[in-house]
Amino acid sequence: TEAWGPDDEGPRPHPGPVRVRVPAKINLHLGVGPLRPDGYHELNTVYHAIGLFDELTARRGDTLTLTMEGVGTGELALDESNLIIRAARALAARARVPAFARLHLRKSIPLAGGLAGGSADAAAALIACDVLWGLGMSRDELAEVGAQLGSDVPFLLHGGTALGTGHGEAVSPILARPTAWHWVVAIADGGLSTPAVYRELDSLRDGSWPPAPLSGPDQLMAALRQRDPEVLGAALGNDLQAAALSLRPQLADVLKAGHEAGAIAGIVSGSGPTCVFLAADAGHAQQVAAGLNAAGVCREAVTARGPQPGARVI
């Protein structure tokens, strides 16, 4: 009888290293509905991936380890609580393989910044380990694993510009002619706790009747189609902004400084404290970033383009 030959179909384990790059996200529209029984808020959001990246390298190993360099080194726990370790373990459990890898993170996305850095790193770990271990899982399967780890993980596997519903984990792409948008990202000193910002929003809303409606993304979607930065700027909106400003009143100075530096519009990114500003083109973005840096209202202002692809091997 004929022996079973090697299976030429399907992926194989990768010898490593596997390098994955993952973008940060902003929310062009973030409508927050009521608190659900499971502790999350119902969301209606438009996600947008921008050119500020973390990089995760996966090598073969006989245990699971994580090291890092860059932003947050010495501050970010590298133990079992880290979202990268949790992502690797969740994927290994799902695929019934041992969670063996040596992972190294090069971090640029600030911690607790409202840019989904933690979810981005979890997305990068899912892609890196899937390739290293030769699992060949689909993005949808990885997104299912990722949704358990952080609301923004499915989007960061996907990238681009997309609608988010549920608690953010249900992602559908927005079909539009690609337009490059120019952003300035004002990175703050120190972070804000996402749960604390949501709690602050609940207490700001407490007692108001009728309850705040969950605002839809229609106006923002229409603005995206017009491809005019002035129109997009007018449509940007974030229900968490008032809560972030309430916890960190100095953010008003950042928004004002961006306006004075000539930005078309500015908003708090997600739960903050990062603020993002829309510019007309690359040169204008440089000018706005220089103005913000001169004003001394943030740790650093950098330019970034969107949309960007999601987590992928480079």
Instruction: Please tell me whether 110 is known to bind a ligand.
Output: yes
- Residue number with CB closer to ligand C5P (57 or 194): 194
The CB-of-272 to ligand C5P minimum distance in angstroms stands at 13
The CB-of-120 to ligand C5P minimum distance in angstroms stands at 11
> Which is the catalytic residue, given 54, 121, 130, 152?
152
Cα 7 to the chain's mean position, in Å?
A: 37
> Which is the catalytic residue, given 25, 107, 121, 130?
25
- Residue number with CB closer to ligand C5P (86 or 259): 86
Instruction: Please tell me whether 114 is known to bind a ligand.
Output: yes
List, as one string, the DSSP characters of 149-204: T-TTHHHHHHBSEEEEETTTTEEEE-------EEEEEEEPSS---HHHHHHHHHHH
Answer yes or no: 228 catalytic: no
Angle (deg, nearest 10), helices 83-95 and 139-147: 120
Tokens found for residue 47: 């996600």
The CB-of-122 to ligand C5P minimum distance in angstroms stands at 9
Instruction: Please tell me whether 111 is known to bind a ligand.
Output: yes
Instruction: Please tell me whether 24 is known to bind a ligand.
Output: no
Contact footprint for ligand C5P (CB under 6 A): 39-41, 43, 150-152, 167-168, 194-195, 198
Give strand pairing partners of 250.
Answer: none
Instruction: Please tell me whether 249 is known to bind a ligand.
Output: no
Burial per residue of 232-261, b for 16 or more beta-carbon CB atoms within 10 angstroms, e otherwise:
bbebbbbbbbebbbebbeebeebbebbeeb
- Residue number with CB closer to ligand C5P (243 or 245): 243
- Residue number with CB closer to ligand C5P (25 or 182): 25
Alpha carbons 256 and 282: distance in angstroms, whole number: 21
Strands 312-313 and 300-306: unpaired
Instruction: Please tell me whether 188 is known to bind a ligand.
Output: no
Answer yes or no: 25 catalytic: yes
The CB-of-314 to ligand C5P minimum distance in angstroms stands at 25
- Residue number with CB closer to ligand C5P (171 or 263): 171
Cα 173 to the chain's mean position, in Å?
A: 15
The CB-of-150 to ligand C5P minimum distance in angstroms stands at 4
| DSSP-derived 3-state class of residue 314 | coil
Alpha carbons 237 and 215: distance in angstroms, whole number: 10
Q: Which residues are annotated as a binding site?
A: 110-120
Active site residues: 25, 152
Binding residues for ATP: 110-120
